Structure 1
Amino acid sequence: MRLRLLGPLELSVDGGELDLGGARQRIVLAMLALNANRVTPVDQLIDAVWNTSPPTTARLQVQICVSGLRKIFDDSRVTASIRTRSPGYVLEIPLESLDTEQFAALVGAARSHVSAGRESEAVATLRSALSLWQGPALAGVHSDLVQRGAAQLESARLSALTERIRLDIALSRHEEVIGELTALVEEHPLRERLYEFLILALYRSGRQAESLEVCRRARSMLVEQLGIEPGQSLLRLENAILNRDPELEIAASSRSTGAETPVEAHVVPRRLPASIADFTGRQDQLAEIKRVLGDDPDAASRYGVRIVAISGKGGVGKSTLAVRAAHELRDIYSDGHLYGDLDAPGSEPRVEAVLGRFLRALGIEGSAIPDDLEERADMYRGRLANKRVLVVLDGATSEDQVLPLLPAGPCCAVIVSSRARLSGLPGAHFIDVGVFDVEPSLEMLGKIVGPDRMIAERDAAVELVNFCGGLPLAVRIAGARLASRPHWRLDILVARLRNTVRRLDELAYRGLELRSNLGLSYRGLPADAKRLLRLFALTTTSDFPGWTAAALLDTNVFDADEVLESLVEAQLLDTVKYPGERLRFRFHDLIRVYATERLMAEESLEERTAAVQRLLGAWLARAERAHRKEYGGDFAIIHGTAPRWVPAEDELVEDDDPMEWLDRERRSLVDAVAMAAEHQMDEMCWDLALTGVTLFEVRGYFDDWRTATELALAVTERAGNNRGQAAMLYSLGTMYMAQRRLTDAERSFVAALEKFQVEGDDHGCALVLRNAATIDRLRNRPTAMRSKYHEALARMRLAGDTVGEAHVLQNLAKIAMDEGDFEAAHELLTTALARCRQVEYVRGEAQVLDRFAELKLHTNDVDEAHQALNRMLLIVRDIGDRAGEAHALYRLGVVRQRTGRLDNAATTLQHALSVARQVGDRQIEGQALYALGEIALARGDYPAGERHVDLSRQAFDELGSVVWHAKALILLSDVHQGRGERREADVHTERALELLGTVNSAEATRLLAELESPRSRC
């Protein structure tokens, strides 16, 4: 069997060609063949078939094509197969059955002949390689992506052909190649190397005038087509011909004896390390390197030496990628390949030693190599000036290491790998290598330990590669350990890796060690960067903002930023940016383990504790600042005595919107509470937790609210911190109240008030009394409610809490409304609004406007109610107050219902219902359902009306909202009356009467009066 790509795509068996099917099927096979024995992603196959406009059925059609090809391959004589391998397919084919592999093998053999001085054998081998070509590669396969692969094959063919011609000239066969070169120059008019060979062949054939004419034609073509002069190599050759330089003749005669190349001594170094057989992933980066360096060097020579700089953290596979790319580019750089390890153990700097090895590889005797660095660099650049050499510089630590090792030859190329991004390299193309996702990690592990073990323990394999954090070095070490112990189950190593303290000990095997690899990066850091890396191990969040570095180092933000950036450049910290946010930073899991080891080894307990204190103090200072900006000052909250930390320049610059900042840092704030609890910093813990309520309450983050508060309550109880316990009990009660868990809320408030009274904390008592009065209102205890509100108001004024005062005033206004005293309610609300505006507390302003709208609805001032609600809605949406938005939308729906705009009202109420459910506001949810039920009944849609009202009844029953529960029952009674269902109507009416009899309020009295004669409602 033979699969041909070097010409029209053909699959032949026993001399007969098989039908490969339609155009799409041929494109799929071509792509699989170009990536033979490697995974070709399905997305790449789709791009190949449809370019940029695939149909929605593209994946299915690719599957159909693969299925069709598999049927062709079912022939017993076909030794290839197509396997499914995430994220695509693999064409598994013997190398000897693929003409591209045969071609590559023959070219490699020719190189070996050249290195051994067997030029004649090399020419014969190259002729055999070139004879495999039956026309343009993959001719007739119409796909842009396939043709890009074909172009690379064509480039390799031309390189082999150029090398064969060079060798023919070296063997004095100049007259034999003139015709071939003339045709090639016509075909490739911008390739200076071909011009050089033709000029030299003509000159050596005694045709000096024609050779100079070719020189002029080359110059004219390059100037006309590209606007550039010929390169130095062609100019030197032209000058040598004009001067009849004897070196040209000497080179020719001596070369006939096998001594010289046509122009200069030709030593071809082949110094690349072996490429690993289980190379995995990195196909996109590999393709990018080949694209940048894989074009014909002559075409790019005008730009100077081409450089690809690969960067990434230690163990991510930079060296493996660099070496693999160099091997796949070897045919293009026919004058050799050099490899220098700049990170190998030994004295620094290593540049002199690497230059010495490079010069010896280029044929310079050791005694002729100068000691001076600059002289070595000059000699090195001179040797490569007219050559095509690929240089791999592995493990560079700085641009200063790389610059002396850059060749001067414009047809040379360089691949540099470094943990830092070497942005100072002129004209470099940068490639950042990240960690593997799970699937490439599993693929790599499977290649090492074998597919059977992977299939048998898939879950354990996934957990194992997750512990490796996507680092190929870690996966390789783990795989090597398992491969050496075939009797081990994968879950044995997984269990050992679960121990964070010993994880780096487990990731070591026979010279492969992750800890020492990470240590190279760590040891290269300045002292302050090492310290910051260690201290960052104290953080518990998945990522963190940059200002935390200042707190940990106890310095100003600007100096800390410089240290922080050095960790990023060293690839020891990753950057991450979420939409609309500033840059944040995070650890790779294994680097965090290493940093923790260094922290415990190098920082004392006192230093670690002090750093934690500063970090938490910085979080608290910023959270307090956000609360002050939101509330207009330290209102509606109390604080503890834990030390705050601010930068040396006293700068706390954050976003203007405090709620946005709090929302963005929500998880970090909860983690800060947990850190404070872990370190038994009880004052810090409860203060952080209470300040977080500023966010939790507005956005309805009840899980975070509960977590932070319960952590702080536990640590304050252990510490015997009575005031801290009171604050956390108050916070829990407020959360329960928001969730309408009235019994739990009341129990918490009673305990909190008792502790605040013991502490003599008037402000804390005021906050508790304000909320406890709300419970009394919901429990229909008007006397207790009024007493608590008035005591809370007095204590708020004593504490100077303007916002707390406004809260109480608007609640007193609600009482006045319920009693029908609208004038008093208006006066109270006017004062409350003035207090909010006095301190620019816009959320409080929105709450007062909500009460104003309710008041205007009571007095039938619908227009004024509408204006108040529009203003309220603008405010709550601007500050992101979702709970306030639910209230505003509900009242707007009621206003529109009152004015007969039922369609608009229903839409607004549905929106209110949705938002209320999102934030967990059951009261507004029930009221919106009730209003929607009224609208449906008004439209005559009795089933929908009954459904909405019954859902509202259930909500009010669960909440213990007695008056609203009774109203829902009355409306359900009306529905049954309308259908003639007298018994059901009476049941609902009797239950409503029972409920209203337990309530002492103006609204309850009014409803009872309406129900005095139930039968009159028929």
Structure 2
Amino acid sequence: MVPIADPLSFAEVLRRHRHAARLTLEQLAEASGVSARSLSNMERGRSRGPQHRTVTALADALALDESARRQLVELARDGRLRDHWTRPTGLCALPRSVGDFTGRAPELAWTNDLVHADASPGVAGVGLITGPAGLGKTTFAVRAAHALRPDFPDGVFFLDLFGMSPHPVAAGEALALLLRALGVEDRDMPGDVPDRASLYRSLLEGKRVLVVLDNAASEEQIRPLLPGGSHGRVLITSRRLLAGLEGVRRLSLGPLPLAEATELLTGIVGDRSASDGERALTQLAQVSGGLPLALRIIGNRLVSRPGWSAAELVARLANEERRLEQLSAGDLKIANAFGMSYEQLAGSARQLFRRLALVPGRDFDAALAAVAGGISAEDAWDALDELVDLGLLQDGASGRYRFHDLVRLFARDRLQAEDAAAERDALIETVASWLLRMATTTAGRWFEPAYRCPAGPDADLTELSSPEQADRWLRVNVDNWLGALRHAASSGLHSAILDCAESMNWFSDRWMHAPHWYEVFTLGAEAAAVLGDPARQAKQLNMLAWVHLVPRDDLETTLRYTAQAIDLATRSGATVQIALAHHHAGGALRRLGRLDEAIAAETQAAGIHKANGDMDRYCQCLGALGTCLRDAGRHTEALEQYLDLLALLNDDRSGVTPSVAVFTRPIALARVGECLGLLGRRAEAIITLTEATGLMEQVQLPVLQARSLETLAALLAEEGRTGESRHAYARAAEVYEDVGDTAEGDRCRDLAAASP
């Protein structure tokens, strides 16, 4: 194989042409007007890229034909470009890095990995850094580039692409700027984008160069600016996700954690941080939501006004209505940063962005967004995608979206400025009405024993086709429907409030330790009182008694509510509520150790429910009566009571609603297991409790499951099955932690560790 010769240099080609013309250096110098010394430097390779006019004069003196002339001109141009790498140009220079840069250690490690990772052949390593306005993407990229500079001896270049301006830098213009920084003269600049991109890639080939492309607007703008070689690296920042870019590594920049945000603010204010105090600075960091731009503004305001205290600024920023106005310092304004993204939106996306500020909760899905926007679900998806792409919304798991707190305030300001008051009021009513209807009719009713899913003409009322879907909707949207309930209370919509509170009666058993039931049933009781309906008021008071009995563990208050409920129910003839009040009172009396009174109350409640033919509530009372007997030490009687209850639950002809039977069966099984254990029948107890905890997981009774797992673990330990005991304690800890009870979780983990 014949080896491929290296390309000829300008020096060698010039020397060949002079020899072919039979001219000495002095003769060529006289004919061209170029000094003999300059000619000597050219032929020896000391001057690899003479200026264009010099090369033209030499070609004329040598009488070169068109092809030879073009070759000599191109070799000189290439030589000038190669000369660039030995001298700085000052163009596209990297900005300075701020001295108080704080945090971002994992993200800086990511850029370091990008630089040192092996790239695929022919593909440069490209890192894309995205995130909303105010997160410090440029500051971070500049900091990373300064830290990485030693890895790029051939140069570090920075170019602002003005992606958020009305007129971003065009790809051709960006290439021209980069090529000038690389030493290309304007007369040597190719005319179109493909040729400029080709020259750009050829100049970077084999070079250790880092290019920072800041504030990118689009994939089309970026693609021609990416090198083709494997030695160079590129960092791109953009508010947009640029999802169409292929072969890039992505870093989504998020807000600073509170500790780092406080540290950054402390660094900005400098020496005065001691007088301001850590608590006030931490409060300011919380208000900033971890946005470095907001922290910079807050810090600059404090530094520029020595007479202010951080506590005073905390007080100013506490007013949400004026918070954005206060977050400005000179030409730094947080609202302006958000406004640049807002201006990029299509009109429909702008409108949806503004209206979403009225959603009561912290997050929402596309269905609620469609209601708020008054648009179809398909249009809502498109608009939400646009908002996420520009960083004005954050998308999370399972199709949920949320605002950053400061972005929500900006959306609210835009709504106030651009939408009429009447339109805003109508929108609030529309959103609240939809949420209450969903919570009451579509989701909450699923858990009533006699409920049946709508069919036929009514089927379009809901997209929730199972209790599991209804359960999930109520949990993930709790902030939204609870906000709608509060709005209804402020608007005097008492019937809607009471309907919603009543629809939560059975669902609350599935989510008994949720923190909001006191508010729900208090609003329900107040609404019933205003409506003058003592029977329904008694029902809500019974629910408040349950709240204080189960989630709140306030037994005296439970008894106070049950007494009020019995009084109202007796006057209105609501025997069901009388029985429920006795049932809740029985639970409180049992835990207060007043067992004879508790047994009497539960017996009375069971008798009323049985007489009314309410087998579902009758079963609840049987279970509670068994617990009273167990606590009284009458374990054999308690076991018989629970076995009778299980027989009812397992009998299809008993009249117990199937869904109630499914829900109650694992509780009854667990009680049977406890009694078996108390009677010394541990092997049977272990089998029964194992089955019960499995069923509890299926029907989502986490707190009861955790408690039964503890009982199971203790029995296993007594049987010498220590490994299984440790596993049961550890599983109980996990369940407690899942419901947010870290104290109980830690206690169970300690028990697991202490097991022999």
TM-score normalised by L of structure 1: 0.53
**1:68 counterpart residue number:** none
Q: 1:272 aligns with which of 93, 106, 117?
A: 93
Give the AA of the match of 1:277. Answer: V
Question: Aligned partners of 1:563, 1:885: CA distance in 2, in Å?
Answer: 43
**1:769 counterpart residue number:** 579
Residues 767, 804 of structure 1: 8 Å contact kept? no
Q: 2:249 aligns with which of 407, 426, 429?
A: 429
Q: 1:745 aligns with which of 556, 561, 564?
A: 561
**2:403 counterpart residue number:** 587
Give the AA of the match of 1:530. Answer: R
Question: Aligned partners of 1:248, 1:391: CA distance in 2, in Å?
Answer: 39
**1:314-356, CA deviations, whole angstroms, 9 ceiling, x for partnerless residues?**
1111111223333444552525625133336343574444344
Question: Aligned partners of 2:376, 2:693: CA distance in 1, in Å?
Answer: 41
**1:690-722, CA deviations, whole angstroms, 9 ceiling, x for partnerless residues?**
444545445652753323322443455567676
Give the AA of the match of 1:876. Answer: M
**1:611 counterpart residue number:** 431
Residues 92, 159 of structure 2: 8 Å contact kept? yes
Correspondence list, 1:519-668, <5 A: 519-544=339-364, 548-553=368-373, 560-576=380-396, 582=398, 584-603=400-419, 604=423, 605-620=425-440, 623-624=443-444, 627=447, 633=451, 650-652=462-464, 656=468
Q: 2:8 aligns with which of 240, 260, 271?
A: 240
Percent identity reads 26
Question: Aligned partners of 2:689, 2:106: CA distance in 1, in Å?
Answer: 55
SS in 1 for 2:358: coil
TM-superposed deviation, 1:418? 0.5
Correspondence list, 1:147-166, <5 A: none
**1:955 counterpart residue number:** none
Residues 654, 661 of structure 1: 8 Å contact kept? no
Residues 11, 42 of structure 2: 8 Å contact kept? no
TM-superposed deviation, 1:490? 1.9
**1:162 counterpart residue number:** none
Could you list the runs of 5+ residues in structure 2 that have no partner in the other structure?
18-38, 51-75, 590-595, 738-756
Correspondence list, 1:430-449, <5 A: 430-449=250-269
Give the AA of the match of 2:6. Answer: E
Q: How has the CA–CA distance of structure 1 residues 301 and 863 changed in structure 2, closer, same or farther, with 3 Å as cutoff? A: closer
Residues 217, 240 of structure 2: 8 Å contact kept? yes
Question: Aligned partners of 1:413, 1:356: CA distance in 2, in Å?
Answer: 19
Question: Aligned partners of 2:469, 2:247: CA distance in 1, in Å?
Answer: 42
Question: Aligned partners of 2:671, 2:321: CA distance in 1, in Å?
Answer: 58
**2:34 counterpart residue number:** none
**1:966-1005, CA deviations, whole angstroms, 9 ceiling, x for partnerless residues?**
xxxxxxxxxxxxxxxxxxxxxxxxxxxxxxxxxxxxxxxx
Question: Aligned partners of 2:392, 2:494: CA distance in 1, in Å?
Answer: 33
Correspondence list, 1:274-673, <5 A: 274-278=95-99, 279-293=101-115, 302-330=121-149, 332=152, 334=154, 337-343=157-163, 345-347=165-167, 350-362=170-182, 377=197, 380=200, 389-408=209-228, 411-454=231-274, 456-544=276-364, 548-553=368-373, 560-576=380-396, 582=398, 584-603=400-419, 604=423, 605-620=425-440, 623-624=443-444, 627=447, 633=451, 650-652=462-464, 656=468, 673=485
Give the AA of the match of 2:405. Answer: D
Question: Aligned partners of 1:782, 1:496: CA distance in 2, in Å?
Answer: 58
**1:524-566, CA deviations, whole angstroms, 9 ceiling, x for partnerless residues?**
2334433443343234444455654355446666664444343
SS in 2 for 1:479: helix
Correspondence list, 1:1001-1016, <5 A: none
Q: How has the CA–CA distance of structure 1 residues 830 and 460 changed in structure 2, closer, same or farther, with 3 Å as cutoff? A: closer
Question: Aligned partners of 1:526, 1:280: CA distance in 2, in Å?
Answer: 36
Q: How has the CA–CA distance of structure 1 residues 254 and 311 changed in structure 2, closer, same or farther, with 3 Å as cutoff? A: farther
Residues 302, 310 of structure 2: 8 Å contact kept? yes
Give the AA of the match of 1:318. Answer: K
Question: Aligned partners of 1:593, 1:774: CA distance in 2, in Å?
Answer: 44
Correspondence list, 1:960-975, <5 A: none
**1:803 counterpart residue number:** 616
TM-superposed deviation, 1:816? 13
Residues 550, 647 of structure 1: 8 Å contact kept? no
Q: 1:253 aligns with which of 10, 34, 43?
A: 43
Could you list the runs of 5+ residues in structure 1 that have no partner in the other structure?
1-211, 217-234, 636-645, 920-1018
**2:740 counterpart residue number:** none
Question: Aligned partners of 1:532, 1:832: CA distance in 2, in Å?
Answer: 50
TM-superposed deviation, 1:770? 3.8
**1:104-136, CA deviations, whole angstroms, 9 ceiling, x for partnerless residues?**
xxxxxxxxxxxxxxxxxxxxxxxxxxxxxxxxx
SS in 2 for 1:876: helix
Give the AA of the match of 2:316. Answer: R
Q: Work out whether 1:708 is the aligned partner of 2:516.
A: no
**1:829-871, CA deviations, whole angstroms, 9 ceiling, x for partnerless residues?**
7456433374563122345657888999999999999987775
Q: How has the CA–CA distance of structure 1 residues 483 and 452 changed in structure 2, closer, same or farther, with 3 Å as cutoff? A: closer
Correspondence list, 1:834-913, <5 A: 834=651, 835-836=655-656, 838-839=658-659, 841-846=661-666, 872=692, 874-881=694-701
Which has the larger displacement, 767-776 or 283-292? 767-776
Question: Aligned partners of 2:149, 2:629: CA distance in 1, in Å?
Answer: 89
**1:430-469, CA deviations, whole angstroms, 9 ceiling, x for partnerless residues?**
2222211233323332333223334542221111121111
**1:735 counterpart residue number:** 547
Question: Aligned partners of 1:728, 1:248: CA distance in 2, in Å?
Answer: 104
Q: How has the CA–CA distance of structure 1 residues 825 and 474 changed in structure 2, closer, same or farther, with 3 Å as cutoff? A: closer
TM-superposed deviation, 1:514? 0.9
Question: Aligned partners of 1:479, 1:859: CA distance in 2, in Å?
Answer: 68
Q: How has the CA–CA distance of structure 1 residues 744 and 309 changed in structure 2, closer, same or farther, with 3 Å as cutoff? A: same
Question: Aligned partners of 1:649, 1:712: CA distance in 2, in Å?
Answer: 24
**1:57 counterpart residue number:** none
Which has the larger displacement, 392-401 or 352-361? 352-361
SS in 1 for 2:214: strand
Question: Aligned partners of 1:469, 1:508: CA distance in 2, in Å?
Answer: 15
Question: Aligned partners of 1:417, 1:451: CA distance in 2, in Å?
Answer: 33
Question: Aligned partners of 2:494, 2:298: CA distance in 1, in Å?
Answer: 42
Q: How has the CA–CA distance of structure 1 residues 600 and 686 changed in structure 2, closer, same or farther, with 3 Å as cutoff? A: farther
Residues 441, 465 of structure 1: 8 Å contact kept? yes
Correspondence list, 1:2-13, <5 A: none
Q: Which has the larger radius of gyration?
A: 1
TM-superposed deviation, 1:821? 14
Residues 876, 882 of structure 1: 8 Å contact kept? yes
Residues 93, 156 of structure 2: 8 Å contact kept? no
**1:166 counterpart residue number:** none
**1:152 counterpart residue number:** none
Backbone CA RMSD of aligned residues: 5.2
Question: Aligned partners of 2:185, 2:691: CA distance in 1, in Å?
Answer: 87
Question: Aligned partners of 1:255, 1:854: CA distance in 2, in Å?
Answer: 95
Question: Aligned partners of 1:722, 1:737: CA distance in 2, in Å?
Answer: 22
Q: How has the CA–CA distance of structure 1 residues 702 and 444 changed in structure 2, closer, same or farther, with 3 Å as cutoff? A: closer
**1:282-310, CA deviations, whole angstroms, 9 ceiling, x for partnerless residues?**
34433432442368xxx969433332211
